Structure 1
Amino acid sequence: MLKQQTVGVVVREIAKSYPDTEAYVYPEHKIRKTYEQFNQETDDLAKAFMGMGIAKGEHVAIWSDNKREWLLSQFATGKMGAVLVTVNTNYQEKELGYLLNQSDATTLILGEEFKGTSYIDVINAVCPEVKNSEKGNIQSEHLPFFKRVIVMSENKYPGIYTWSEFEAHASKITDQELDERLNMLHVDDVINIQYTSGTTGFPKGVMLTHMNIVNNAQIIGDFMKLTPLDRLCIPVPFFHCFGCVLGTLAAVTHGTTMVLLEQFDPKRVLQAVQDEKCTGLHGVPTMFIAELNYPDYKQFDTSSLRTGIMAGSPCPIEVMKKVIEDMGAKEITICYGQTESSPVITQTQSDDAIEKRVATVGKPHPHVEVKIIDPATNEDAPIGTPGELCTRGYHIMKGYYKNEEGTHAAIDSEGWLHTGDIAIIDSEGYIEITGRIKDMVIRGGENVYPRELEEFLYQHPSIQDVQVVGVPDPKYGEELMAWIIAKEGVTISAEEIRSYCKGKISHHKIPRYIEFTESYPMTASGKIQKYLLREMSKEKIPTA
């Protein structure tokens, strides 16, 4: 049965059932709060939003790393019905201006800075009127909806509310008024807008409802067997579905304790897992690779780990094996999906055979339909044949905000979301993702899936990470280029890599070009940006 509950009702019910269970812990700030306290904090903040005059359905943008204020704002807006618009922490002036304008945000909550970027300077550049405005009454010609800015700090800036000034608005609203607002909310109301990374064209605002994210989070946690005895370490960014659906909301739907880090750092993650005796750990593959390769990794005790999720980009089989064997997370799961599907479509289970758990993304969630089609004909592809994965069900977004054309391109007339991912389904229903349609390389008429070559090269003892892309070639149309990060202290040559490949994989799959690097271009959520790697690759290949 799907839950018919809004985000706010979920918090209230969990707090009633597990009042004394720790809801969240910030080890770096020595903050610990029970579910009863968390429920009260989010009630108070929901009243502050209402006291400011923020209406049901109004758009509130939030821009910071994983601060406590972000967490509380997520669930407070869930109680009073404002739509939380999540902002990528890496955004700069142009991107923030686009998002505030396109989303019709009335309010921006922000941290002071992130990795050397002053968010205060950026908002003043995007909206110069802020400095000269009365707080809460910004008048901007190019941002007609924009009214107020709140900073997660007590430092004073012209035209910007401090956090305590914001909180003080709660006194204007009674408990009864909050309850009335909460009871007005409907499960099909949009509660979150997440902007896709915009690897092609402008980012699109994905509209997600209570129904979408509450049920997705519930099922994710069920697959992980989460309970109030679990302690889940969440170092992935909140602004991404991985952080705020697979992380915070999956924990809250199960009364699980959230162990939170403001930013990812392999040492801090390992320390938190050890000190807080975390039973679960989330991360994209690059995070787990960084943890496993941390110089003092063996000095940390990760034996409390049981579960967690590796997701966000294809999970290398060898890395999964190490997380299970070395870290001890024997029940770790892989999730696959995208923001447009709330986000999880398929997930592995702890009792799946080990080869299925490391080499596939599992089976579709309950209440979720999946089909694999031939992208050229839209006909169903036979079992074992690659095709585009399409999905349908409760988890499909309401659409892209103010972008009907984009919505119709993504979701067909029968309600199927076309993911753009190439997948294979086996006779038992397990799904393997072999790449993006646009990542597939066609070399001399042969389709080559970079994922297959990456998995093969991961087995080389000197390779820490590898990404494969296609580059233009006058003879074959496309050739393969491998970008390799070698393990620390190891020297390896391109010739050694090619020799390793010979006789083990088809000749046409051996990369013609091999480059060594120390890092990849990545999104703030830890996804490798292959389109940027392709651009970098074109600059490396010799021109005729």
Structure 2
Amino acid sequence: MQHGERAAIWAPNIYQWIIAAIGMQSIGGILVPLINRLQGHEAADILRRSSARVLLTFPRLENGSPLEMLAAHELPSLKHQVLLQDVDDRALSWEAFLALGDVVSDLQLQQRIDQVSPDDIMDMLFTSGTTGKPKGVLCNHRQNIQVFTIWGNTVGLRPEDNYLIINPFFHSFGYKAGWLAAIIKGCKIIPARAFDREQVMAQIERDKITVMPGVPSMFEMILNDPQRANYDLSSLRVCTTGGAAVPVKLVEDMRNELGFETVVTAYGLTESTGMVSICRPEDDADIIAGTCGRALDGIEVMCVNVATAEEVPRGEEGELWVRGYNVMQGYFDMPEATAETITAEGWMRTGDIGTMDERGYIRITDRLKDMYIMNGENVYPAEVEKTLYGLAGVAQVAVIGVPKQPQGEVGMAFIVKTKSAEIDESKVQDFCAAKLARYKVPFYIKFVDALPLNASGKVLKPALKQQAQQLLGKAV
């Protein structure tokens, strides 16, 4: 593998993943992680566009065997396929792949390592593609190390920590705030392929886990498990959570019931090297639950009026713009998209709508691209969705704006009911009318069996807009 060439990893959280990534990055290779839930054509598209020379993968993922899923696709740049576990005639085994390095002398290896510069690209993570074609985000060695050195200092990682990484390695949460931060701070890394609350509690006790980030639902399941008292969870010390609403009570229970000394929430994007802001360990439960913290040291954030590109007063909504050492180097082979995202002054438009208080603490209210306008009023679907989750019988919900005259646009809510739920359109609208301004109440309600999701589990709102057009016809 030559300096600057790309190698992709398409596998669950196993130790070989980390070894392969560190190996390629140490000699100037660029890591391209693939989401485990991708279909074959989606993975092939990323492999082609990144010109990956090597694919390191696993016998079977969520949608089947990667070797079988890719068999029908032309991948002209791909020279090696490697199975990180087991054997298959169509790929090199992990052991055979490692043996290829025997022909490289220690002197040659050191020369390759010495060629690597802090400004060389370290990874190319592809965005999840909820609003269009996934983009390859380029970040260099310097910014990755700097961001997660500061992140590790902020949350208080220690060399003696035992870090259980449940978040997938293909995501910044499991990769950069996971094993990379652990290596920087000297922690012991313990990968987990999936979350199973009984197995996780047993592992916390067995391995004396001290650091365990995760999504809120993971901790709610542990807290509500009737077997929790049978396990010794007293070693737990540090947790970063987020990715969904975090109730104040959950923060309090994680501290008081699970024994975490540090519970923080954070905010970041793939384009910001995975991190923008974070709460501080001393923050109270209301701040941790209600905000995404304040910017990491040395990073600037402001809320901007999209129409004027001017900063709005503190407390008012605007698009979040970010500037600093964490801003990506750009999108791979997409100069126009890069120019649309990063201003000439170095500000990165996040596409997220939020507010910032006088102390710099950020609250995310919605995605700019999801906003719609009804009778001249801006409506942010995330607010409506958050409200609807408070209605008994709503398991999942997604809200979009659809054209309708004379209002301009109105809201349409797609709802997945819980089992045996007794709710109908009028009940949904009455519930919203009691809690939201009239213009925010969805005009259309559609009950569905499932919401369309991408490989990262995010709702595909363009697909919902297509459904709405089919359902409403000329109204859309």
Aligned match of 2:109 in 153, 178, 184? 178
- Residue type matched to 1:64 in 2? A
Aligned match of 2:53 in 106, 131, 141? 106
Are 1:237 and 1:525, in contact at CA under 8 Å, matched by a contact in 2?
Answer: no
What is aligned with 1:342? 273
What is aligned with 1:157? 89
Distance across 2 between alignment mates of 1:334 and 1:256: 21
Shift of 1:471: 3.6
Once the two structures are superposed, the pairs formed by residues 40-439 of structure 1 within 5 Å of their partners are 54-127=1-74, 143=76, 145-158=77-90, 160-285=91-216, 287=218, 302-312=233-243, 315=246, 323-324=254-255, 327-329=258-260, 331-439=262-370
Shift of 1:296: 6.2
Shift of 1:328: 4.6
Are 2:366 and 2:381, in contact at CA under 8 Å, matched by a contact in 1?
Answer: yes
Distance across 1 between alignment mates of 2:443 and 2:367: 21
- Residue type matched to 2:33 in 1? T
SS at match of 2:119: coil
Per-residue deviation, residues 495-526 of structure 1 (Å, max 9, x unmatched): 55544444443233333444556754444444
Quick check: 93-102 or 421-430, which moved more? 93-102
Distance across 1 between alignment mates of 2:388 and 2:304: 29
SS at match of 1:272: helix
**Structure 1 spans left out of the alignment, 5+ residues:** 1-53, 128-141
- Residue type matched to 1:508 in 2? Y
**Structure 2 spans left out of the alignment, 5+ residues:** none
- Identity within the alignment, %: 33
Shift of 1:535: 4.2
- Residue type matched to 1:214 in 2? I
SS at match of 1:383: coil
Change (3 A) 1:313 1:512: same
Are 2:165 and 2:190, in contact at CA under 8 Å, matched by a contact in 1?
Answer: yes
Distance across 1 between alignment mates of 2:229 and 2:379: 38
Distance across 2 between alignment mates of 1:449 and 1:476: 16
Shift of 1:476: 2.6
Change (3 A) 1:446 1:253: same
What is aligned with 1:452? 383
SS at match of 2:193: coil
Change (3 A) 1:466 1:94: closer
Are 1:216 and 1:245, in contact at CA under 8 Å, matched by a contact in 2?
Answer: no
Shift of 1:342: 0.3
- Scaled by the length of structure 1, what TM-score is found? 0.78
- Residue type matched to 1:148 in 2? H
Per-residue deviation, residues 263-282 of structure 1 (Å, max 9, x unmatched): 34455444434443433322
Per-residue deviation, residues 288-325 of structure 1 (Å, max 9, x unmatched): 56666778677666554332222345656676566556
Are 2:130 and 2:458, in contact at CA under 8 Å, matched by a contact in 1?
Answer: no
SS at match of 1:113: coil
Per-residue deviation, residues 108-148 of structure 1 (Å, max 9, x unmatched): 11112202411111232114xxxxxxxxxxxxxx62x3322
- Residue type matched to 1:58 in 2? E
What is aligned with 1:441? 372
Change (3 A) 1:539 1:285: farther
Are 1:302 and 1:327, in contact at CA under 8 Å, matched by a contact in 2?
Answer: yes
- Residue type matched to 1:331 in 2? T
Change (3 A) 1:376 1:294: farther
Distance across 2 between alignment mates of 1:303 and 1:461: 35
Shift of 1:249: 0.9
- Residue type matched to 1:111 in 2? F
Distance across 2 between alignment mates of 1:295 and 1:478: 47
Per-residue deviation, residues 424-446 of structure 1 (Å, max 9, x unmatched): 11122111111110112322222
Distance across 1 between alignment mates of 2:329 and 2:312: 27
Once the two structures are superposed, the pairs formed by residues 22-37 of structure 1 within 5 Å of their partners are none
Distance across 1 between alignment mates of 2:312 and 2:291: 18
Shift of 1:181: 2.4
SS at match of 2:109: helix
Shift of 1:206: 0.9
Quick check: 165-174 or 506-515, which moved more? 506-515
**Aligned length, in residue pairs:** 475
Are 1:450 and 1:468, in contact at CA under 8 Å, matched by a contact in 2?
Answer: yes
Distance across 2 between alignment mates of 1:241 and 1:338: 8
